[in-house]
Amino acid sequence: MAFAKNLIVFFLSLSIASVFATPVPEQVLEKRGAVLSSQRFTLENNLWGMSAATSGSQTSQATSVNGNSVAWKTTYSWTGDANLDLRVGLGKKISAISSIPTSWHWTYSSASSGLVADVSYDLWLSNTAGTSGASSSSTFEIMIWLSTRGGAGPAGSQIGTASINGVTWKLFKGTVSTWTVFSFVAPNEISGYDSDLKPFLTYLTSSQGVSSSQYLVQAQAGTEPFIGSATLTTTSYSLSIN
């Protein structure tokens, strides 16, 4: 999660090693830690940045699992900043990955008129396998913004455009903490994305100097709200690393 200002971050996380029964009990996550885990998925509330929150609440629910596809929803209302996202830990070199097929179908069931938020993938690279994103071992963060509302924008500044998977993305580059952030921002909101994320990594290795020996240590997807309230409903989400 990389932006031009500090965010309060709340994670909805998925780990490939675990599986929820269907349906999954709803969890109300309001300024406290909460984790639901079983054999395939882990629903987690991460309290990083919580001390900056002023008020508000957040309710998250994983609603179903079908094979490698999961459905979930999150409803939030914050007068400070907040974020809910989905992450999957991996640990392969870019050169060893042939494809990253994904399918993500989502909608705003409701959204306040002043909502400032994005909906995006968040991929983390490191020189070391077995590490996690947003840590001292992180080298690159790659965000793929399917939606931006209310003027939300990524860290850094625009350095050009990149045509990937039939979309001409605005490409931003910046620095957060100790890592470099590349953000691909869609020109229009994409609420149904059925594609492959590997071409984004290929573009960075061929055009932006990112080494193919970097490890992909974490993959996330979710929403990062700055201001406002909304219900974001994901009807299906899947991600595979081949």
Question: Is there a contact between 136 and 128 (Cβ–Cβ < 8 Å)?
Answer: no
Q: Could you give the count of Cα atoms lying within 13 Å of 200 in the half-sphere of its Cβ?
A: 29
Closest CA to 126 of 155, 168, 94: 94
Q: Provide the 8-state DSSP code for 117.
A: E
- Interatomic CA distance for residues 39 and 15, integer angstroms: 9
- Catalytic residue list contains 224: yes
- Catalytic residue list contains 141: yes
Strand ranges inside the chain, DSSP E: 10-11, 27-28, 34-37, 42-45, 56-66, 69-78, 84-93, 101-111, 116-126, 138-149, 157-164, 167-176, 179-185, 192-196, 215-239
Catalytic member of 30, 44, 141, 189: 141
- Interatomic CA distance for residues 159 and 128, integer angstroms: 28
- Interatomic CA distance for residues 90 and 241, integer angstroms: 8
Q: For tokens 């999150």, what's the residue?
A: 74
Catalytic member of 26, 30, 44, 224: 224
Enumerate the active-site residues: 141, 224
